Amino acid sequence: MPEGDTVYRTAAHLDAALAGQVLTGCDIRVPKFATVDLTGERVDDVVSRGKHILMRVGEFSIHSHLKMEGSWHIYQPQTRWRKPAWQARAVLTTAEHTAVGFELGLLEVVRRAEEESIVGYLGPDLLGAGWDAAEAERRLAREPGREVAVALLDQRNLAGLGNVFANELCFLRGVLPSRPVGEVARLDAVVALAHRLITANRDRVERTTTGDTRPGKQVWVYNRAGQPCRRCGTAIQSGRLGANDLALRDAYWCPYCQT
């Protein structure tokens, strides 16, 4: 699933292409909203909130979430799409560009005044202008018995982290992903590092937590089960965390560097 940095870049690219433009075509290919036609309305802006994208058009917001397979593409007029048309869930056209949302995990249209009803539950947005580290720390600390990696992934605590960042943060702070939040020393430092790490990656195509963007060198532990730790050489271990089968998350850690 794309993480907050990817969603931030997607929203920024959509904003650069569409903001200030009038829609010359609007095709929402989701049954519930198939009759919605915002042709003739002006796109005011496109913003991200955690892993959500809000495209504000006239009095409405087109809300999308990429989930596992989704993506937005931007094309010049008459350019051939890079994915098949049957995967398109939204086609928005202006005089200069066509934005196509493929395989979007969620797509809906709501009135702008109702935006908070769909994203208001989110914790502080790591890449938002109103980032509030103290509030994020407070929310994380509300459930001291919860596994720290799972708590970091809970978008109600802080919005934007996915599995890659959660696992890498735990490694960089020397904390086992299964350690209860209440036993994590300097929770404020975890939150501060989360903000620095995702901010450093928001404008990069190739995400890195090691500082090395070369293929195979970009992460410390994520998806590296059985491979040697880059610091100590111990084999990286993996497992699953969470309260039930529907919420299980993949975890990776070095049993020597993390306690």
The domain spanning residue 14 has which CATH number?
3.20.190.10
d(CA 8, CA 14): 10
Q: Is residue 78 part of a domain?
A: yes
DSSP character for 196? H
Of 102, 107, 99, whose CA–CA distance to 32 is shortest? Answer: 107
Share of the chain above pLDDT 90, in %: 95
Give the total number of structural domains in the chain: 2
Residue 123's pLDDT is 98
pLDDT the model gives residue 30: 96
Q: Are residues 107 and 29 in the same domain?
A: yes
Residue 125 maps to a domain: no
Same domain, 191 and 245: yes
**pLDDT on residue 248:** 82
**Residue 51 among the catalytic residues:** yes
- Phi and psi dihedrals of 40, rounded to 5? 95, -10
Q: 50 and 28 in one domain? A: yes
CATH of the domain at 233: 1.10.8.50
Residue 230 in domain: yes
Residues 137 and 95 in one domain: no
Residue type, 27: D
Q: Which two tokens stand for residue 47?
A: 């913003």
Question: In the chain, what's the furthest Cα-to-Cα distance?
Answer: 60
* One domain, residues 89 and 38: yes
Phi-psi region of 204 (alpha: psi -120 to 50; beta: other; left: phi over 0): beta
pLDDT for 142: 97
Q: In sequence order, what are the residues at sequence separation of 6 or more whose Cβ sits closer than 8 angstroms to the Cβ of residue 32? A: 108
pLDDT of residue 245: 52
Domain, as residue range, for 159: 133-253
**64 and 166 within one domain:** no
**Domain presence at residue 128:** no
Do 137 and 239 fall within a single domain? Answer: yes
- What's the confidence (pLDDT) of residue 205? 87
In a domain? residue 126: no
Contact status, residue 30 vs residue 64, Cβ threshold 8 Å: no
Report if residue 66 sits inside a domain.
yes
- Amino acid occupying residue 102: F
Per the listing, tokens 């020393």 go with 185
Write the single-letter amino acid at 194. A
Among 87, 119, 151, which residue terminates a domain? 119
User: Domain ends where: 84, 119, 154?
Assistant: 119
2 given a catalytic annotation? yes
Q: Note whether residue 217 is domain-resident.
A: yes
Residues 244 and 162 in one domain: yes
Q: Is residue 201 part of a domain?
A: yes
Please tell me the predicted confidence (pLDDT) of residue 246.
Answer: 53
Listed residue (50, 90, 84, 46) closest to 67, CA to CA: 50
Claim to verify: residue 89 and residue 141 sit in the same structural domain: no
* Of 119, 153, 186, the domain-final residue: 119
Low-confidence ranges of the chain (pLDDT < 70): 1, 244-247
* Same domain as 74, residue 173: no
Distance of CA 201 to the CA centre of its chain: 12
Catalytic, out of 3, 137, 147, 168: 3
Active site residue 83: no
Residues 101 and 153 in one domain: no
Same domain, 137 and 114: no
Q: Rounded distance, CA 254 to CA 221, Å?
A: 7
From the candidates 51, 115, 124, 147, give the one annotated as an active-site residue: 51
